[in-house]
Amino acid sequence: MKKLNLGAGQFRKEGYINVDWDDKAEPDVKCDLNKFPYPFEDNEFQEIITEHCLEHLENPFEVIKELHRILDSKGKLIIKVPHFSRGFTHPEHKSGFDITFPLYFDPAFKGGYTGTKLILIEMKLNWLGQKEFKKEYFGLVYYPLRFLDIIYSYFANLSHGLCSRFWCYAVGGFEEIEFTFTK
């Protein structure tokens, strides 16, 4: 099974081809993700994951179109991005994301279908994102935060719409929204 970690940065994944533009990340493949096409064949990967990368790129829809090209017909595309309620805390973020993101890949969506068809398998809101990084950064405070994450994320995922429109602000926003797609 061939797997791709797009925009790996310092978070390399074992068993994946780790791609990044920055030499400091020591990527397996160095690639400017704003330039197309990527140096991969059509339908090459059974799994593509991109974590906290898409929001840094100039045109997320063009990136998704390119990922669709290199994703196998039965493959899985996993995208983790900041939720708009907390997503613009990094000075290099160019886009925010919410629960409507999958609509743009549904041909039935009359409000802006991009021409790239993807099927949403799962959507998940995470109150605490990038947990492996947070554990190192917060130390012992991580454990109570993780406990709150379990509770808040559970209730948020009962109704994504209710959370995104109303109560996400009461808990300080959600750090991450995760989408899993297939072709």
This prediction's pTM: 0.93
| 114, 59 contact by CB (below 8 A) | no
How far apart are the C-alpha atoms of 42 and 8, rounded to whole Å?
21
Domains and CATH numbers, the chain: 3-182 (3.40.50.150)
> DSSP code of 58?
S
How far apart are the C-alpha atoms of 17 and 1, rounded to whole Å?
11
CA angle, residues 28, 31, 34, in degrees to nearest 5: 150
Closest CA to 118 of 101, 94, 96: 101
User: Rounded to 5 degrees, what are φ and ψ at 60?
Assistant: -55, -35
Per-residue pLDDT of the chain (183 residues; tens, 9 = 90+): 999 999 999 899 999 999 999 999 999 999 999 999 999 999 999 999 999 999 999 999 999 999 999 999 999 999 999 998 875 667 788 888 999 999 999 999 998 999 999 999 999 999 998 887 788 888 889 999 999 999 999 999 999 999 999 988 899 999 999 999 999
